[in-house]
Structure 1
Amino acid sequence: MSVVVVTDASSRLPADLLEKWSIRVVPLHVLLDGRDLRDGIDDVPDDIYQRHATTAAATPAELANAYQQALADSGGDGVVAVHISSALSGTCGAAQRTAADLDPNVRVVDSRSAAMGTGFVALAAARAAAAGGDLDVVAGAATSAVARGRAFIVVHRLDNLRRSGRIGGATAWLGTALALKPVLRIDDGKLVLAQRIRTVTHATAAMIDRVCEVVGEAPAALAVHHVANPDGAKEVAAALAERLPACEPAILTPLGPVLGLHVGPGAVAVCLDLAPGG
């Protein structure tokens, strides 16, 4: 048997990668009109970003069930659970409490990121597990990947950001300019302002420049996400492919309803792992 890796639906890992690396996924939740919709399981309306919906973390029961099943399937080798940043969601805190009550062979790793920023950490752990690594080795691979990750996002509107309360230091600038198109980054698990720009086109170009500066000429794993903006994501992915020839083509996936509700329609994000595994 081998160590089993668990993550949550915010990681946005494509189905083929989940299957290839045997990664388990715990759903996060969208609360809409009295209904509790599980991301990745239940149908979420396409116009969710224009509706008064809220989000919720994975429940302790869901986490416990996932960890218990994974622990059993590992044959006792253990579980490494990689979750969205504790600064952005209550999922990681709930996971840590659940693991502490459940079994010492369940290790929780705070990805300090979101979307494929979390997904790349889970992939690093899964690769280590597939290579035969024990619990310490797999958890160590995940922790190392946390330090390698970077994430940037351009949003088209500020309404969702105002409501979300997820932006560090936002009170100083968030309400100052209706035309503001901020470039945000994830810094130590928190979503913070990287740059203020007046147009989406210029903000997107600035984000691409920042990604290219960080990556340089080395290979890196890339992912491009979007919120109801597939054409914008494809353009960013194409620009990165042209400017970063040492990198494999970017993984391209929607940001998903839970994260999308906090940044609003039109948003495009780039996540990267500066030293991906094989």
Structure 2
Amino acid sequence: MNIAVVTDSTASLPHELRTEHGIVVVPLHLVVDGQEQVEGDDVGTDWVVDALRRKVDISTSRPAPVSFLRAYEQAAKGGADAIISVHLSAAMSGTADSARSAALESPVPVHVVDSRTIGMAVGFAAVSASRDAAAGRDVDDVLERLERRLDASSVRLLVHSLERLRRGGRIGGAAALLGSALAVKPVLHVQDGQVEPLERVRTASKAIARLQALTVENHDNLPEWAGGVDIAVQHVDAGERAQGLARTLADALSTKVETTRLSATVASHVGLGTIGVAMVPRIAD
């Protein structure tokens, strides 16, 4: 069986990974100061960073079902017998709903997966599904392994302000921190598909140290079935700090750690200076 993998642009997948694994990415839309653009290589994080610095209005919208249908038709024309379409948390966006609507008209079966997470946790999941499909696993096996990895994944974020999350309605339980946000550096995590508070730390350096410690703790308590991990340090206009954290984690865990920028859409909701760590266990074969 030839299984194609589709995701959306919030997965923050670097171009080389998308190309290497043949993953089709459906872009979300951004509206900056009244100008609508489709997220992509030409309209990316730099564009949003500039807008955030200028403090102009930014909003985002999910892809229309027709965008997913085109992706599914493209995959079918390329020889796919089935499609796995994995997307950012349905609790944060209607993207998965658009994918489900398109799936009803797809020329081949589409299995839409709500990742219940964001960023490179979604990206790593899409890559793992593509690898499993390339190894000849059937669609049920690929889906089972994908769900197992997603259930054990973690995403933690250090944001400098909760204002962007509040404006976009993606704040979840972290709204409880709004009253004291000026006095702390909120460390957040994604839990049950929502952005929730994890800890409150007084300084950015201590918050980054907590991100490091929590990641090491997770690594030391991987599921029995795990055969390593995929880790990415993600950021919005905080490259030096992100690279420093990635080097520290790589040394501490003796494993490769990717450094990537969060997608333009995610960046618009979390704001400048955000640093996050995504960890997804691998399945030992």
What is the TM-score normalised by the length of structure 1?
0.93
1:72 match: 77
What is the alpha-carbon distance in structure 2 between the residues aligned to residue 177 and residue 113 of structure 1?
23
Matched, 1:55 2:64: no
Pairing partner for 1:228 from 230, 237, 243: 237
2:270 match: 263
Matched, 1:167 2:171: yes
- Any residues of structure 2 matched to 1:162-201 within 5 Å, and which? 162-201=166-205
Q: Which amino acid in the other structure matches residue 67 of structure 1?
A: Y
What is the alpha-carbon distance in structure 1 between the residues aligned to residue 93 and residue 221 of structure 2?
34
Structure 2 gaps of 5+ residues are 223-227
Matched, 1:242 2:251: yes
Cα shift readout 1:108-133 (whole Å, capped 9, x = no counterpart): 01111111110111112101110112
- Any residues of structure 2 matched to 1:91-240 within 5 Å, and which? 91-102=95-106, 105-216=109-220, 219-240=228-249
Q: Which amino acid in the other structure matches residue 105 of structure 1?
A: P
What is the alpha-carbon distance in structure 1 between the residues aligned to residue 165 and residue 242 of structure 2?
20
What is the alpha-carbon distance in structure 2 between the residues aligned to residue 256 and residue 104 of structure 1?
29
Deviation at 1:40, TM superposition (A): 1.3
2:225 match: none
Deviation at 1:105, TM superposition (A): 0.9
Q: SS of the counterpart of 1:13?
A: coil
Cα shift readout 1:66-86 (whole Å, capped 9, x = no counterpart): 1111123234x2110011110
Q: 2:177 touches 2:186 (CA, 8 Å); kept in 1? A: no
Q: 2:162 touches 2:181 (CA, 8 Å); kept in 1? A: no
Q: SS of the counterpart of 1:51?
A: coil
Q: SS of the counterpart of 1:107?
A: strand
What is the alpha-carbon distance in structure 2 between the residues aligned to residue 186 and residue 117 of structure 1?
10
Q: Which amino acid in the other structure matches residue 264 of structure 2?
A: P
What is the alpha-carbon distance in structure 2 between the residues aligned to residue 130 and residue 277 of structure 1?
16
1:43 match: 43
What is the alpha-carbon distance in structure 2 between the residues aligned to residue 97 and residue 144 of structure 1?
25
Q: SS of the counterpart of 1:119?
A: helix
What is the alpha-carbon distance in structure 2 between the residues aligned to residue 60 and residue 35 of structure 1?
21
RMSD: 1.8
Number of residue pairs the alignment of both structures matches: 275
What is the alpha-carbon distance in structure 2 between the residues aligned to residue 174 and residue 274 of structure 1?
32
Q: Which amino acid in the other structure matches residue 243 of structure 2?
A: K
Q: 2:91 touches 2:116 (CA, 8 Å); kept in 1? A: yes
What is the alpha-carbon distance in structure 2 between the residues aligned to residue 2 and residue 232 of structure 1?
41
Cα shift readout 1:126-184 (whole Å, capped 9, x = no counterpart): 01110112222222232222112111010112321221221222333212241321101
What is the alpha-carbon distance in structure 2 between the residues aligned to residue 151 and residue 171 of structure 1?
18
Q: Could you say if the C-alpha distance between residues 103 and 158 of structure 1 is closer, same or farther in structure 2, counting changes exceeding 3 Å?
A: same
Cα shift readout 1:70-108 (whole Å, capped 9, x = no counterpart): 123234x21100111101111012112221343561110
Deviation at 1:204, TM superposition (A): 1.1
Cα shift readout 1:15-52 (whole Å, capped 9, x = no counterpart): 22111111110001111133221111443524122321
Q: SS of the counterpart of 2:90?
A: coil
What is the alpha-carbon distance in structure 2 between the residues aligned to residue 57 and residue 47 of structure 1?
22
Q: 1:10 touches 1:114 (CA, 8 Å); kept in 2? A: yes
